[in-house]
Amino acid sequence: MYNKILVFLEQRNDEIKKQSLEAARKGFQLSKELNTELIGIVVGNEIKNLNIVSEHGLEKVIHLKNSKLKNYSSTAYSKLISDFAKENNFNLLLFSHTSMGKDLAPIVAAKLKAGYGADCVSITFKENNLIFERPIFAGKAIMNFSLNSEFKVLTIRPNTVSLTENGYNVNTNVEVIEVPESNLDLRSLTVDYVKSEGKIDVAEADIIISGGRGMKGPENFYLLEEIAQLLNGAVGASRAVVDAGWRPHSEQVGQTGKTVSPKLYIACGISGAIQHLAGMSSARCIVAINKDKDAPIFQVADYGIVGDVLEILPVLKEELKKYVN
Amino acid sequence: MKIVVALSHVPDTATKIKISQDRKTIDQTGVSFVINPYDEFAVEEALRTKEKFGGEVIVVTYGNDNAKESIRKALAMGADKGILIKGETNVDTLTIAEALASEILPLQPDIVFCGKQSVDYDSSAVGQMLAELLGFPSISTVVKLEIDNNIIKAEREVEGGIEKCESSLPVVITTQKGLNEPRYASLKGIMAAKSKPIEEKFFEVKQNRLVVNELRLPESQRKSKILGTDATAVPELVRLLREEAKVI
Ligand SMILES: Cc1cc2nc3c(=O)[nH]c(=O)nc-3n(C[C@H](O)[C@H](O)[C@H](O)COP(=O)(O)OP(=O)(O)OC[C@H]3O[C@@H](n4cnc5c(N)ncnc54)[C@H](O)[C@@H]3O)c2cc1C
Ligand SMILES: Nc1ncnc2c1ncn2[C@@H]1O[C@H](COP(=O)(O)O)[C@@H](O)[C@H]1O
């Protein structure tokens, strides 16, 4: 089947998000293998950093523009994207599995009567067939699947495509299409975006240092905050400490919190319950600090220290200071 | 207000996953099933909406007979009636949404609540797809909700902050932890649920867009190196993170 590829470029506050660049690169790889056309699509008003996509394989970008499209609207965006895909025969659509991507892609899929695969960790082309893989049951199993519908809509798990590899530089041609008011379905609209106080979100951090009940109390989390700041990372938490009110739910990692896949995950005083592992087991490198040598967290860790976190963390901070800044 | 909750019946999150002989499905022997945890927030929000505006709460599930257990639980919490749509399982998400829409559309609901994600296949999709098939707008991953004069004001959790959204009614809302604290069913509720109706319907799957080639367990390639039993192991840890893992 002939698959023309459309990559959704997500913007918030007029800036293209890093996760979309991963989708662009995946699209680029696939377009080479399938020997097919690839374009990016961005919906918004002024886009400040659109030139960034030339480092990630997109030779052509369509910018659907209207001042009312600056903020996300699931109704408007989904209509514009699915209409564009239909009219121009793009039948393989790639999104990033971010808050916006996972909200928008299913609506687009429903409009196109498409087969849908969320949160893919791999997309390959084998024996003339597109093969997808995605974690299910919170990563306890992997599903290898194909889609037999004409349109296929996929979201890609963030941090699964390298952005540093070379070979993706191209010249990008941007076509701006002014969208008339009459074509905007704004029944659902974002009216405001409130940023949480200057901190990096766990879902977006490259380095996460998380605390569990072994931290003994909310007063000790400054130890994690200091290290997070040093490494330009974020503080995460187990559900036990969120439920105890020590930390906000926005920091919870796990099956009913956030799924993260950072470069480095440091679990401090976390036992490693299956629901916690569900949210972080795909981190590139995992460190565990726990006083119980039999804690399940050690089984998924690359490196472990068996000991008291409250004694180890101050030393860790001093040691890290020698190398960073 | 006519309020609908789409409720899925899923393996308990503590389940250890085993794959069946055919390598295409999960082995269900010994697995206990529960209401999808996120759908409890959906049921709770539906009940609160009914308490505020009056009306009726209808719970709709696509699944097999076993799912009645979860519907019954929602009825015990206070929902008024259940609909079980029976049909082939292991279908693609859009097919599930189509099955749900086929029974929900004729009900002409004002508001439909779903969980943000079911904890089996983790798609986070059925709610938004259902909205599209019903012709409604949707707001997903909602942590705060206000309904005022047919205007929905919701806050949804996104990376690095909160999005404040507005929408008209009818609407589909998918619920995230933080929206409310689901109530426990009272003994009275459990007794009352026994006589509440669960209607059975059937949905014929015409087109399944998903072909499962294989399920497998993820292989762990972790080193599990224990570096020591106190703070003296820290320099070695930092060295390994720099030189071996190259992550800092
Ligand atoms: C439906 C459902 C969903 C869930 N979702 C999530 C989720 O999203 N995320 C999540 O995290 N959990 C989730 N859970 C909860 C999960 O099952 C565990 O209860 C939780 O992860 C435990 O948190 P913890 O590791 O901080 O606490 P504990 O299990 O109490 O572990 C504390 C650990 O700290 C160690 N410790 C104690 N003192 C010290 C010290 N001084 N130094 C070093 N180590 C020390 C102990 O040895 C122990 O291993 C969920 C549960 C259910 C039922
Ligand atoms: N089989 C089903 N029956 C009823 N509702 C469902 C079903 N599957 C999913 N849902 C609803 O859709 C939400 C999102 O599910 P999913 O897209 O599977 O992650 C769930 O929280 C439920 O509210």
State CA A174 to chain mean position distance.
25
Measured between beta carbons, which residues in chain A are less than 8 angstroms from residue B238? 316, 319-320, 322-323
Nearest CA in chain B to A234: B160
Residue A61: DSSP 8-state: E
Interface test with B, best of A71, A93, A104, A136 (most B CBs within 10 A): A136
Dist. CA B157–CA B144, nearest whole Å: 9
A293 burial via Cβ count (<10 Å: 0-12, 13-18, 19+): exposed
Q: Given this model, what pLDDT does residue A2 score?
A: 65
Residue B234 has pLDDT above 70, yes or no: yes
Residue A325 has pLDDT above 70, yes or no: no
Taking residues B231-243, report their average pLDDT.
96
Could you tell me which of B171, B173, B133 has the C-alpha nearest to residue B155?
A: B173
Taking residues B112-133, report their average pLDDT.
97
In this structure, is residue B220 part of a structural domain?
no
pLDDT one-digit tens code per residue, A254-277: 988 898 989 999 999 999 999 999
Q: A285 and B247 in contact by Cβ < 8 A?
A: yes
Q: Given this model, what pLDDT does residue A159 score?
A: 83
CATH 3.40.50.620 fits A4-183, yes or no: yes
A179 burial via Cβ count (<10 Å: 0-12, 13-18, 19+): middle
In this structure, is residue B187 part of a structural domain?
yes
**Among A residues 144-163, those touching chain B with beta carbons less than 8 Å apart:** 144-149
Residue A195 has pLDDT above 90, yes or no: no
Q: Which atom belonging to ligand 1 lies closest to the Cα atom of A241? A: 26
**ipTM of the prediction:** 0.91
Ligand 1 binding pocket includes B37 (Cβ within 6 Å): yes
CB-CB contact of B17 with B147 (8 Å): no
Adjacent-strand bridge partners of A16: A11
Taking residues B222-236, report their average pLDDT.
94
Residue nearest to atom 15 of ligand 1 (CA): A239
In this structure, is residue B239 part of a structural domain?
no
The SS3 call for residue A131 is: strand
How far does chain B reach from its first CA to its final CA, in angstroms? 55
Phi first, then psi: what are they for B96, rounded to 5°?
-60, -45
pLDDT band at A22 (very low <50, low <70, confident <90, very high): very high
- Can you tell me which residue has the tokens 């909602």? B142
State CA A84 to chain mean position distance.
24
Q: What is the best residue among B9, B33, B35, B36 to mutate for testing ligand 2's pocket, by most ligand atoms within 8 Å of CB?
A: B36
In this structure, is residue B246 part of a structural domain?
no
Taking residues A206-210, report their average pLDDT.
96
- Assign domain A207-321 to its CATH architecture: 3-Layer(aba) Sandwich (3.40)
Ligand 1 binding pocket includes A220 (Cβ within 6 Å): no
Adjacent-strand bridge partners of A42: A9, A63
Q: Which atom belonging to ligand 2 lies closest to the Cα atom of B120? A: 18
Residue A101: DSSP 8-state: H
pLDDT band at A139 (very low <50, low <70, confident <90, very high): confident
Ligand 2 binding pocket includes B4 (Cβ within 6 Å): no
Q: B215 and A142 in contact by Cβ < 8 A?
A: yes
**To which H or E segment does residue A62 belong?**
strand A60-65
Dist. CA A131–CA A154, nearest whole Å: 11
Nearest to B231 among A102, A188, A311 (CB): A311
Q: What is the best residue among A241, A255, A297 to mutate for testing ligand 1's pocket, by most ligand atoms within 8 Å of CB?
A: A255
Q: Given this model, what pLDDT does residue A160 score?
A: 86
Cβ neighbours of residue A167 closer than 8 Å, sequence gap 6 or more:
none
Q: Where are the domains of chain A?
A: 4-183, 207-321
Ligand 1 center–CA A289 separation, angstroms: 13
Measured between beta carbons, which residues in chain A are less than 8 angstroms from residue B156? 99, 103
CATH code assigned at B186: 3.40.50.620
Dist. CA A322–CA B209, nearest whole Å: 55
Domain that holds residue B138: 2-202
**pTM, to two decimals:** 0.90
pLDDT band at B221 (very low <50, low <70, confident <90, very high): confident
Ligand 1 center–CA A271 separation, angstroms: 5
Ligand 2 binding pocket includes B82 (Cβ within 6 Å): no
Residue nearest to atom 37 of ligand 1 (CA): A214
pLDDT one-digit tens code per residue, B143-196: 999 999 889 999 998 988 899 999 999 999 999 999 999 999 999 999 999 999
Three-state SS string over A183-198 comes to HCCCCEEEEEEEECCC
Q: Given this model, what pLDDT does residue B144 score?
A: 97
pLDDT band at A71 (very low <50, low <70, confident <90, very high): very high
Q: Given this model, what pLDDT does residue A256 score?
A: 85
The reply to whether A4-183 and A207-321 are identical in fold is yes
pLDDT one-digit tens code per residue, B25-50: 999 999 999 999 999 999 999 999 99
Nearest CA in chain A to B176: A256
Alpha carbon distances (Å) from A287 to A140, A292, B245? 20, 14, 11
Percent of chain A with pLDDT over 70: 99
Residue type, B105: L
Cβ neighbours of residue B135 closer than 8 Å, sequence gap 6 or more:
none
Residue A101 has pLDDT above 80, yes or no: yes
Q: B138 and A191 in contact by Cβ < 8 A?
A: no
Ligand 1 center–CA A249 separation, angstroms: 14
pLDDT band at A296 (very low <50, low <70, confident <90, very high): very high
Taking residues A34-42, report their average pLDDT.
96
- Can you tell me which residue has the tokens 């929902």? B79
Dist. CA A251–CA A280, nearest whole Å: 13
Token readout for A119 is 């949160």
pLDDT band at A215 (very low <50, low <70, confident <90, very high): very high
pLDDT band at A324 (very low <50, low <70, confident <90, very high): confident
Q: B248 and A106 in contact by Cβ < 8 A?
A: no
Q: What is the best residue among B61, B96, B134 to mutate for testing ligand 2's pocket, by most ligand atoms within 8 Å of CB?
A: B96
Token readout for B143 is 């942590």
**To which H or E segment does residue A65 belong?**
strand A60-65
Q: Which atom belonging to ligand 2 lies closest to the Cα atom of B121? A: 18
Residue A1 has pLDDT above 60, yes or no: no
Distance from A170 to chain B by nearest Cα, in Å? Answer: 29
A266 touches chain B (CB under 8 A): no
In this structure, is residue B167 part of a structural domain?
yes
CB-CB contact of A316 with B234 (8 Å): yes
pLDDT one-digit tens code per residue, B195-212: 999 999 999 999 899 999
Q: B123 and A75 in contact by Cβ < 8 A?
A: no
Ligand 1 center–CA A140 separation, angstroms: 18
Q: Half-sphere exposure of residue A192, counting CA atoms within 13 Å on the CB side?
A: 7
Phi first, then psi: what are they for B180, rounded to 5°?
-165, 175
- Can you tell me which residue has the tokens 């669960």? B198
Long-range contacts of A180-185 (CB under 8 A, 24+ apart): A180/A66, A181/A66, A181/A68, A183/A79, A183/A80, A184/A66, A184/A68, A184/A69, A184/A73, A184/A76, A185/A73, A185/A75, A185/A76, A185/A79
Residue B220 has pLDDT above 80, yes or no: no
What is the number of domains present in chain B? 1
